[in-house]
Amino acid sequence: MLDIRTPLLLIFLSLLCACSGDSEPMRQLSGPTTPTDARVAELYNRSCRSCHAQGAGWAPRTGDLQAWAPRLQKGAPVLLEHTIDGFKGMPPMGMCFDCNEEDFTKLISFMSGG
């Protein structure tokens, strides 16, 4: 039987993992890394992918749900705004100048695991 200590232990272990930020690019990806939608795939491959596949410049990697979790907590509207306006190392529009808001919403959702 699981008791109350089990979830606490899991939280503790996940915090330990979160601290070892240097090894972040080595973490196994748990989400999809290829879009199923053809238009999303086309846009992703020629813009977001160049940075988000490898995690260039601290970009959260596509499919790395752990890296995306704190970002998702900001809420979808904030992430959309940061994608359009830019955010630190993230360039405005993610270098996809023919993407519309719906495209960005789909891209963010795909990259963050679904």
Residue closest to ligand HEC, measured at CB: 94
CB of 33 or CB of 87, closer to ligand HEC: 87
* DSSP summary character for residue 28: P
Amino acid making up residue 32:
P
In the complex, the smallest distance separating the C-beta of residue 86 from ligand HEC, rounded to whole angstroms, is: 9
Residue 48-87 contact track with ligand HEC, rule CB under 6 A, x = bound:
x-xxx---xxxxx----------x--x----x--xx---x
CB of 23 or CB of 100, closer to ligand HEC: 100
* DSSP summary character for residue 96: -
How many whole angstroms separate alpha carbon 25 and alpha carbon 53?
Answer: 10
Residue of 94, 90, 92, 91 whose CA lies nearest to 106: 94
99 in contact with ligand HEC (CB under 6 A): yes
